[in-house]
């Protein structure tokens, strides 16, 4: 592995993207809107009481953490992978002695840094204005970061294998839009999974989407029991393994096809 090259690539990608800060800020704002809307709806619904045992200030805490988690796990890179395959820029990746994974990761990491410059101040302002109520232990705080990393890896790799279907189909990114819709419904964005109606909740707990966004948020804000956390991390890890394996297979097969038919 060539970490030196990888780091230089991250730095230069970041420099490129800082040229377009405002564009990325607008994207980041767009991603923030659905959870913000959901937050205001649930704040109103809770009023001075609660919905499904969640109080108004707990909703605020849940959604402010969710906005950050959503931003950190959102993989905008996957939207560009298809173009890179279709337009033949992949050739430039393939003739360098550096794994293409670095190219993808560099835009992923550089993107996160650019977005957070925008998102963190906004969330801080909202914290000051809305005064959410946080109750988490140190243990939860530590596990949150682990779950967050797994959530990012899962969301990234899940989107990656879908994006790489571009080796076969020209508009594979339509499936990425579908993934975004599924995330909106099942990840805890439209409502915390705990208050989804019965059947939907069961489905959400089984599908991978909750483990891309909602699960780490719940660790920070919903006082999950050790058992709930353990089950969650297990399901998350299983889906992550499936996503990683799928990405690997699709990449190998896709590359084989690419080098057979040309870019």
Partner 1 sequence: MASIISVKDVSKTYRVPQREAGLRAALSSLTKPQFLEVEAVKSITFSINPGEMVALIGPNGAGKTTTLKMLTGLLQPTSGQISVNGYIPGKRGNDFLSQISIVLGNKSQMLWDIPPLDTFQVLGEIYRIPKEILRQRIDEMVALLDMFEILRKPVRNLSLGERMKCELVASLLHQPKVLFLDEPTLGLDISVQNRLRSFILEYNLRYQATILLTSHYMADIERLCNRVLLIHHGDLLYDGALKGLSSLLTNSKIIRLTLSEQQSEQQSTAWLPEGAEIIERNHHNFTLRVNRSRTAAITAELLKHLPVSDLSVEEPALEAVIDRVYQDGAL
Taking a C-beta distance cutoff of 8 angstroms, is the pair 182, 209 a contact?
A: yes
Give backbone dihedrals phi and psi of 20, rounded to 5 degrees, phi first: -115, 25
Q: 223: left (phi > 0), else alpha (psi -120 to 50), else beta?
A: left
- CB of residue 18 to partner 1, shortest distance in Å: 9
- CB of residue 160 to partner 1, shortest distance in Å: 20
Give backbone dihedrals phi and psi of 209, rounded to 5 degrees, phi first: -65, -35
Closer residue to partner 1 (CB): 95 or 129: 95
Enumerate the β-bridge partners of residue 50: 55
Closer residue to partner 1 (CB): 95 or 128: 95
Residues in touch with partner 1 (CB under 8 A)? 2, 4-5, 7-9, 11-13, 15-17, 19-20, 88-89, 91-92, 94-98, 259-263
- CB of residue 76 to partner 1, shortest distance in Å: 16
Closer residue to partner 1 (CB): 89 or 246: 89
Closer residue to partner 1 (CB): 40 or 258: 258
- CB of residue 21 to partner 1, shortest distance in Å: 11
Closer residue to partner 1 (CB): 103 or 179: 103
- CB of residue 26 to partner 1, shortest distance in Å: 17
Taking a C-beta distance cutoff of 8 angstroms, is the pair 263, 85 a contact?
A: yes
Please report which residue ranges of the chain form alpha helices under DSSP H. 3-18, 21-46, 56-73, 77-86, 90-94, 100-130, 138-163, 173-186, 198-206, 214-221, 226-261
Taking a C-beta distance cutoff of 8 angstroms, is the pair 161, 250 a contact?
A: yes
Taking a C-beta distance cutoff of 8 angstroms, is the pair 263, 167 a contact?
A: no
- CB of residue 5 to partner 1, shortest distance in Å: 4
Give backbone dihedrals phi and psi of 54, rounded to 5 degrees, phi first: -105, 125
Contacts of 108 (CB under 8 A, 6+ apart): 75, 76, 77, 156
The DSSP letter of residue 75 is -
Tokens of 148: 């967050």
Closer residue to partner 1 (CB): 19 or 137: 19
- CB of residue 258 to partner 1, shortest distance in Å: 8
Closer residue to partner 1 (CB): 9 or 240: 9
């Amino acid at each position: 592995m060539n970490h030196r090259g990888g780091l230089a690539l991250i730095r230069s990608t970041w420099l490129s993207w800082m040229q377009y800060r405002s564009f990325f800020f607008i994207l980041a704002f767009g991603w923030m809107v659905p959870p913000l809307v959901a937050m205001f709806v649930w704040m109103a619904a809770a009023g001075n009481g609660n919905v499904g045992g969640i109080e108004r200030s707990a909703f605020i805490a849940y959604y402010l953490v969710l906005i950050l988690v959503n931003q950190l796990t959102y993989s905008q890179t996957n939207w560009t992978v298809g173009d890179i395959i279709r337009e033949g820029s992949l050739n430039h990746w393939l003739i360098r002695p550096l794994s293409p994974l670095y190219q993808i990761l560099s835009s992923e990491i550089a993107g996160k840094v650019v977005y957070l410059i925008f998102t963190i101040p906004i969330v801080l302002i909202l914290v000051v204005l809305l005064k959410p109520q946080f109750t988490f232990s140190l243990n939860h705080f530590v596990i949150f970061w682990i779950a967050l990393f797994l959530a990012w890896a899962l969301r990234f790799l899940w989107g990656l294998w879908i994006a790489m279907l571009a080796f076969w189909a020209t508009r594979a990114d339509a499936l990425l839009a579908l993934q975004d819709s599924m995330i909106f419904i099942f990840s805890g964005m439209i409502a915390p999974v705990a208050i989804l109606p019965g059947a939907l909740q069961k489905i959400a707990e089984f599908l991978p989407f909750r483990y891309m966004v909602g699960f780490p948020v719940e660790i920070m804000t919903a006082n999950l029991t050790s058992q709930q956390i353990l089950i969650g991390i297990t399901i998350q890890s299983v889906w992550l393994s499936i996503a990683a394996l799928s990405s690997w297979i699709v990449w190998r097969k896709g590359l084989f096809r690419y080098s057979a038919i040309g870019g």
